[in-house]
Every structure is written in structure tokens, then in C-alpha cells.
Structure 1
Amino acid sequence: MTAAPVLFSDDYYQRVIKEYGYSPFDLQRFDFSLAGTGQEELNLRYLCHHAADRYAAAPVANRITTTGFGMSGPPHMATASHIMKMVKLQQGGENCQIVLGDLDAYNGRGRSYSFTSELAERFRIFSERLGFDGEKGILRNQRDHADALTNMYLLGQFTQESDFEGAEEDNHAYYVSRGIVDATMTFRRRLSLGLMASDFITLGQKYDAVLVLLGVDEHKYVRFTQDVARRFDENAPIRGNFTLAALYARLNSGFNGHPKFSKSIPGSSISVETAPDEIRKLVREDESRDPAASPVFQLISQMTYCSHEELVRLHEDCVEGNKKWESEKENFADYLVHIKELWPR
């Protein structure tokens, strides 16, 4: 029997706040600028933040923004939009890191070692073609980063059984029903989660503030890391007294009724492997007049396709379903084909 997906509506966001005890001070809207982007644009392109104001208060030299991607398959366009966000943050003066999760996919998704290794290299090239400066910032895999692997082992002494059980993604049952992930928190999945937390904590050994860019459905990973780091005592060989903040992206509604874009669910997204004609078909057939439910508008808002002012105008055009909106969808389809062609073959 297939489990029902969790749909990421406004009701979902409110439920997350209530269910996990977040206060208005835990998940906040933006009332400040970051990396040259004003608060109105931040609130339109991102859902909310956790402690990003404390991150922004730290000296630029002492803070870093990080994100990462599992190497379970070639990226979809929502993943490309995450890379674009990192490019914009980097160009705005932030120290930035992108982690290519080869070991995460090897354990968490059961992909072969050779597959994830090769895919990580293609992700690296794709990220640089999208504008990320791998010399100015950090663009790395997991298998060659010994400090994070060591720190993953060291933080193991401070974890509890409940930490792992409470870190399941909200759509876990849906993915299990489709045979995408293990049904239980197996040892290999614990390793995958532990290494992700270590990727965050390892940055905190050098920087006083770490800002993690994630989808809001991944908020449990940040809580997992914070809970473990809070238990570090004076005898711990790694420190936990740094700011771990989060920048939560809005989630792109999936095509064909799927809850969000997914590399593992056919038909849910536009990926770098989607044929140009299929890209144009999917974009044209999105007839939603609700920008919050339109896969096309949501993707436009996530990518650096247009300015903030143009995005506000497109919001109204989507609601009206006018000729300007139909024309813009054609232009956006061409843009997506261009992004697809940046993926190394």
C-alpha cells in the first residue's frame, strides 16, 4: 500500500512550528538583509530562517554558509536552484561551501561507490558552470575530507538513540512505500546522517557561525546536529559553542501531483536528463493560478532567473493566467533547456 505524501502547503509549515516546539524566535521571517539581498526578496525566495540574524551579526571572516547534495542521481532543477542560491550568496561576499554527498548516497541510498564518485565529479563541474567559484569557496566531496570523517566518529559518544529516530524526513513513509529508502534507521542510514551532522560541526571548529541552506523538510537534520553539539562537555575533543543557523528554502511543488521535486521519483520534476520537448511540455501544461502551488512559478522564484521586481510582477501574471504569463513560461522553458545543457555528459 502506498503511503500518502506530505504536501508542503502553508498548513504544513505551521504544523512544523507547532509539532516541533519552534517558537516565533526559532523560525523567523527576515527583517534584515543578507549578502546584498534585501529583506523583501529574502522573504519571497526563502520560507524562513533559524538564527540567521546571529549568523549575520558575526564578522564575515568568521562565518560560512554551507549546503550539500546527495549523489543519488543527476540533479533536478530544484537542486540547480540551490546551487544558484549559493552562487548569489558567494557573489554577495559570503564564505560558502558545497558538499557533494558521495558517501551520503553510497550509504543512505545504497548507490555504488563508483557511481557516486563519478557523479560527484559531474556535480562539481555543473556547480562551477552555474557560477560557483571552487577556488574562492569550498566545493568538495565527502570521501576525501578526513576531518569530517574523524569528527563523525568523535561525535558518536554524544548521540542518543532518540536522536536518530527523531530525524526521519517527513516524507519518509512515502519514500519507503516506493522502495527508495530503507524502512528503518539502519546502520548505513545512521552513518549518512552522522556524516551530514559532522559536515556542519567540522565547519564550526574554524568558524564562529555556520549557516546551513536546506529545504524546510530537512529541519530535523539541523535539530539533530544542535542536540548532539549541546552535549559536548569540557572533555570533548571538538567544540559545540558556535552558532549553527539555518536558511530554509521554499520547497518546489512537484509535477504530476508529487509533493516536491525528487531525483528518485520519475515524473515529479524536471531534471538535467529531461528531454527539451518534455521540459517545454511540462512547463506549458502547468495551468495552476495559485503561485504557491504552481511548479513553474515556484521554480522561477527559486532560481536566479529574474529580479525581485520582475518576480513580483510574474506573481500577479500567474494569478491572472494572462498572455504575459504564457509568454514568460515559454521563455522560462528555454532557460531550463539552457541550464540542462550545462550538465556534463
Structure 2
Amino acid sequence: MTSLPDHYETVRERDDYEPIEGAVGPVPAAERRRFVAVDDEGVLTRTDERSTLVATGVGMTGPPHLGTVGQFLTAVALQEAGLDVQFVIADLEPYHSGASLDRVRALAERYRAFALDLGFDPERGRLRTQREATDVMRTAQLLAPYYDPEAWTPADGSGERPPTDWERAVREAYEAADGERGPATAAVERSGPTSDAADIHSAVLHGVDFLHPLYAGDYERLVLQFGVDERHLARMARRFRDAAPVEGGVAGLYTRMLPGFDGTPKMAKSIPGSGVSLAMAPAEIRERIAGDPGGDPATSPVFQAMCLASRYDAERLERLERACETGGEEWARARDEYAEFVVGLAERWRATAD
């Protein structure tokens, strides 16, 4: 089977992660459907003992998709729960890979405006690009001697374990796409220079984006919040921390993934037809969302998107889950309402270009 629930269960058992029940501290029940695992049970219930920062962010390979929206809204929900949140817009990564600096700057500013529009409060956290954070760049230079490329390889040998059925299906979907690029990636087309040095700079900076608040002494604990498919980032941060003169705890809090449309295992820009980009026309967004017939909520791309990329409360999501299972008119109405919400998001994204 390639279902995400099976994948989550395998990952939790294999990596000794915990389900989120009781693990996300002050985060209200209304927001807990976003999360599927934590690698340090109760980490956010200990905020009175040590100052804690939740760190997250997004890469920029084009306009946001529903998974990106989910990352923004999760950051907002964590802020509203009273947590300090750092949100990094990773603009230097595409530049290091050959994207035009001017295009990267323009897209990064649109991402910043969109995050603010969705409710991120810069007075209660830090919303930044990589390019503007010169203090983090300085730390990256100071910690570079401690960087080991092997930090990206799990020290516990989990990278050598066979992939789950879902991971295998994702890999096959990427291979079938054969590197296709659609309009969603055209905004940061890679046509400029790059080098091995740029790759190393990018990797060091990626790690220091996480570790700088600990190195600077601003916080004593870091909680990395990403989709569960990026759980390797927490391992990398711990290994980099252990090698460098950095003290403090590092934990991982992981959100659900979004299954793709038309039977694809994952919503991804490089898997054609799998997702919803905010660059799509309203009619195309409505058509794609209307194509979800309901059934098993765990494999429904629309219901899973409702859990991650919406502000529905817990009671509403319970009703939507039942509607998805039943299908029929109630699910069609719920699906149409969500489509209008996403169309509205797309309009808000387009407004950032003005």
C-alpha cells in the first residue's frame, strides 16, 4: 500500500517518533491535525523551563502551492499559541543553484508579503529571507570549519533502510515526470552560473539558518517544524550542532504530507497534475478540487489539504471528515467551498505582484 497513514506509522516506529497526542504543548486541539509526529515527546510543554524557538521556512521554486500555504498557516497557528516562531524564506538556495538574483529578490518579496497577508506577525517572531540576514551569514562563516557534508546523512543508519511503499511511489512518480518543469517553476528558472562552492555555501547556510539562534544565545531550545518528509533536517541540525561550538536542544515537529490528485502519491511541483499552485487560473483550481470524489479521508487530497492549508477548527474538520467519507452532496458543497477559499488565496498571491 502507498497510503500516507501507513507511511506515518512506519516512520514513527522505525525512527522512534511519537504521535502528536500530548506532544504539542500549548497548541490547541483545533490545530493538532496538522501534525503527525514529534521526535521529542512533550517538547513544547517544557517552554517554561527553557526558552524555545520554533523554526520553519519554505524554499522558492515558484509560486506557492497548497503545501506552502500549509507551512505559512501552521507558523501562524503556532504564533497564536504563544510560541516564538522564525520563518525563513530560502532565497539564496535558488540563487546558488543558478537562478537570477533579480528574479529571486522579486519572488522573495512576494513571499514575504503573502506571509504577512496570511497573518504572520513579525512582532511575535522573525520573518526573513536568507539574503538580508547578515548576522546569520557571519555565523555561517564562523561555523563553516565544523561543517561536514556527511551531516546530511543520518548517523543512525536510517538512510540505509529500505524506503516505505509511499517513498518508493514518490520516487517512481518523480522518475516518471523525468524532470519536467511546468509554469510553476518558471519564476526562478536556473540559467545563471553555479559551482560546487555555491552548493557548499548553500548547505552551510541552510544548517546555520537553524543553529544561529542557539549560537547567538537567543534561545536554549530549537524545534524544527517541517513536513515529515523533511525529518532529515533535524538530524542534520543535531549533527552540525554536536560538531560545532553550539549548545542547546534540537527537536523535530512534523506536519502531514498532502497526497496528490489523480492517484499521485504526493502534491509536488515536479509531478504534473498532482497539486494546486496559486498561479493556476480560478477555473483550473475549481476543476482540480472538484475532481476529488471523497471516500477515505486519509487518501483524499482535498480533505488532507483542508487539515493543513485552512483555518478550519477541530469541530469543523470532524464534520468535513464525515462528509468526505460519505461523499455525495454534502461533500460536494464542502469541496466547492474549499475551492473558493483556494481561489481567494490565488487572488491574494497575484495581488503581491502589484
TM-score range, shorter chain: 0.7 to 0.9
The Cα shift of 1:250 comes to 0.2
Matched, 1:321 2:331: no
Moved more, 329-338 or 142-151: 142-151
Moved more, 49-58 or 276-285: 49-58
Seen in structure 2, the aligned counterparts of structure 1 residues 67 and 161 have a Cα distance that, compared at 3 Å, is: closer
Q: Which of 37, 52, 72 does residue 28 from structure 2 map onto?
A: 37
Seen in structure 2, the aligned counterparts of structure 1 residues 138 and 322 have a Cα distance that, compared at 3 Å, is: same
The Cα shift of 1:321 comes to 0.8
Deviation string, structure 1 residues 41-88 (Cα, Å, up to 9, x no partner): 51x221111226234302398222121111211101221121111111
Counterpart CA distance in 2 for 1:147 and 1:319 is 50
On the 8 A contact 2:4/2:259 being kept in 1, the answer is no
Partner residue, 2:120: 132
Two-structure CA RMSD over aligned residues (Å): 2.9
Partner residue, 2:179: 178
Counterpart CA distance in 1 for 2:343 and 2:149 is 45
Counterpart CA distance in 1 for 2:147 and 2:341 is 45
Matched, 1:276 2:288: no
SS at match of 1:257: coil
On the 8 A contact 2:25/2:42 being kept in 1, the answer is no
Q: Which of 30, 35, 40 does residue 51 from structure 1 map onto?
A: 40
Counterpart CA distance in 2 for 1:202 and 1:250 is 27
Partner residue, 2:105: 117
On the 8 A contact 1:106/1:113 being kept in 2, the answer is yes
Paired residues for 1:176-215 under 5 Å: 177-178=178-179, 187-205=197-215, 206-215=218-227
Counterpart CA distance in 2 for 1:122 and 1:172 is 31
On the 8 A contact 1:253/1:259 being kept in 2, the answer is yes
Paired residues for 1:1-345 under 5 Å: 9-17=4-12, 22-23=15-16, 26-32=17-23, 34-38=25-29, 41-42=31-32, 44-51=33-40, 53-59=42-48, 62-108=51-97, 110-165=98-153, 175=174, 177-178=178-179, 187-205=197-215, 206-232=218-244, 236=245, 239=246, 241-343=247-349, 344-345=352-353
Letter in 1 for 2:286: R
On the 8 A contact 1:204/1:210 being kept in 2, the answer is yes
Moved more, 77-86 or 169-178: 169-178
Seen in structure 2, the aligned counterparts of structure 1 residues 220 and 189 have a Cα distance that, compared at 3 Å, is: farther
Seen in structure 2, the aligned counterparts of structure 1 residues 127 and 57 have a Cα distance that, compared at 3 Å, is: same
Seen in structure 2, the aligned counterparts of structure 1 residues 103 and 263 have a Cα distance that, compared at 3 Å, is: same
On the 8 A contact 1:52/1:245 being kept in 2, the answer is no
Letter in 1 for 2:122: G
The Cα shift of 1:120 comes to 0.6
Deviation string, structure 1 residues 188-217 (Cα, Å, up to 9, x no partner): 444333222111101223101112210000
SS at match of 2:132: coil
When you count helix as a share of all residues, which structure comes out higher?
2
SS at match of 1:48: strand
Letter in 1 for 2:344: H
Structure 1, unmatched stretches of 5+, are: 1-5
Seen in structure 2, the aligned counterparts of structure 1 residues 165 and 189 have a Cα distance that, compared at 3 Å, is: farther
Seen in structure 2, the aligned counterparts of structure 1 residues 52 and 15 have a Cα distance that, compared at 3 Å, is: closer
Deviation string, structure 1 residues 96-152 (Cα, Å, up to 9, x no partner): 1111110022225x3221111111100010011111112332111001212222222
Q: Percent identity?
A: 30
On the 8 A contact 1:72/1:116 being kept in 2, the answer is no
Structure 2, unmatched stretches of 5+, are: 182-188
On the 8 A contact 1:63/1:207 being kept in 2, the answer is yes
Letter in 2 for 1:111: A
Q: TM-score, normalised by structure 1?
A: 0.84
Seen in structure 2, the aligned counterparts of structure 1 residues 140 and 295 have a Cα distance that, compared at 3 Å, is: same
Deviation string, structure 1 residues 315-336 (Cα, Å, up to 9, x no partner): 1111111321111111111111
SS at match of 1:244: strand
Counterpart CA distance in 1 for 2:197 and 2:10 is 30
Partner residue, 2:184: none
Counterpart CA distance in 2 for 1:105 and 1:254 is 24
SS at match of 1:97: strand
On the 8 A contact 2:55/2:87 being kept in 1, the answer is yes
Q: TM-score, normalised by structure 2?
A: 0.82
Moved more, 165-174 or 292-301: 165-174
Seen in structure 2, the aligned counterparts of structure 1 residues 134 and 61 have a Cα distance that, compared at 3 Å, is: farther
SS at match of 1:96: strand
